[in-house]
Amino acid sequence: MIYGSANDKPFLQGGRDYLDAEGVSYEEVVLSAHRDLPELIEYLDALKQSGEKAVILAIAGLAAALPGVVGVKTELPVIGVPVPGGPLNGIDALLSISQLPGGVPVTTVGLHSKAPLNACMVAHRLLKFAGME
């Protein structure tokens, strides 16, 4: 899980509860595509070099640049999780993620209280499907 802001972490609690109950290991980092771009790219490069197989949840609100940047910098599956907030209550984040240009393969979940759970369930299914769990 890559959060664009530490403030977004509480929104994912339902998803973390699911992963914990299912015994799925996960890692959480806070790296903004706007404020921490060099560190984000370094993190993704290190992940690639490690050979780790994973599904990345990119959690972001407002302009939600994080999922697109992550999608461009990795070949791992990326699920964008829009966070409600700001003047448009997350609609801007949802549209930013769902309208990424061709060649940026990022999927997204809806914009509601159960979206984090759905994102974690999809990630878990992808891991099981790929034989990584």
pLDDT value for 83: 97
pLDDT value for 130: 84
Domain-wise residue ranges, the chain: 2-127
Structural contact between residues 80 and 87, judged by C-beta atoms closer than 8 angstroms: no
Q: What pTM does this model have?
A: 0.95
Structural contact between residues 111 and 94, judged by C-beta atoms closer than 8 angstroms: yes
pLDDT in tens, the chain (133 residues): 999 999 999 999 999 999 999 999 999 999 999 999 999 999 999 999 999 889 999 999 999 999 999 999 999 999 999 999 999 999 999 999 999 999 999 999 999 999 999 999 999 999 999 887 6
Using alpha carbons, select from 120, 114, 75, 84 the residue that is nearest to residue 7.
84
Count Cβ atoms within 10 A of the Cβ of residue 113 and give its class: 0-12 exposed, 13-18 middle, 19 or more buried: exposed
Full DSSP string of 92-129: HHHHHHHTPPTT---EE--SSTTHHHHHHHHHHHHHHH
Q: What is the CATH number of domain 2-127?
A: 3.40.50.1970
pLDDT value for 8: 95
Strand partners, 30: 3
d(C-alpha 66, C-alpha 124), whole Å: 21
pLDDT value for 13: 97
